[in-house]
Copies of this chain bind each other. A is one copy, B any other.
């Protein structure tokens, strides 16, 4: 690929650093931008810089926002005594798309993972604890992974002593899934959590 112009080569390198973008896709993207109007590259470039300039962390929920505090934290119609704890900001938008959650959120910024050096001090636990008041419900919505489960148990332990109801998302069969191809751990959780019809 030494025969490519240097600047094209550099763009391919930069694209292939993005997650899920391999060498071939990076090349395809670079050639697409080469062929398209100058405007296309400028719009994409501006959008990128603009986002990096404007988006900041919400000082209350640690989610992403352009105006601090974010519009979810300042929304009076939302239930203040229901708090959903997620690992990362994109998780908030997964919930918001369902239009089914009327409480507020708190972003931990990851999950406990001692092997990767991520302990309680690296996550936004302090801010969460200052937000918790007696009588609130905390819905733990960490990922169903080892790290997510560890974080959920840790939270349940430190908050369970106060007068706070700690719940967690149900685990079971995903809607549209196929029983035949469901892994054992999921099936065990589905059995354990069975509900009466």
Contacts and interface: CB of A to CB of B under 8 A. Distances in A.
A11 B48 contact: yes
B3 A96 contact: yes
Tell me the number of copies of this protein: 2
A47 B6 contact: no
A5 interface: yes
Given A5-B66, A28-B19, A93-B1, A48 B52 contact: no
Nearest to A50: B7
Interface string A29-71: 1111111001011111111111111110000000011100001
A14 B31 contact: no
A84 to B, nearest CB: 13
Contact of A52 (B33, B50, B55, B96): B33
A18 B32 contact: yes
Most central of A17, A27, A48 by chain B CB within 10 Å: A48
Interface of A: 1, 3-8, 10-11, 13-15, 17-21, 25, 27-35, 38, 40-55, 64-66, 71-72, 88-90, 92-93, 96-97
Given A5-B64, A97-B1, A49 B41 contact: yes
A65 to B, nearest CB: 6
Given A3-B71, A21-B29, A31-B88, 9 more contacts: A5-B55, A8-B55, A11-B44, A14-B43, A18-B32, A19-B29, A27-B90, A33-B48, A41-B51
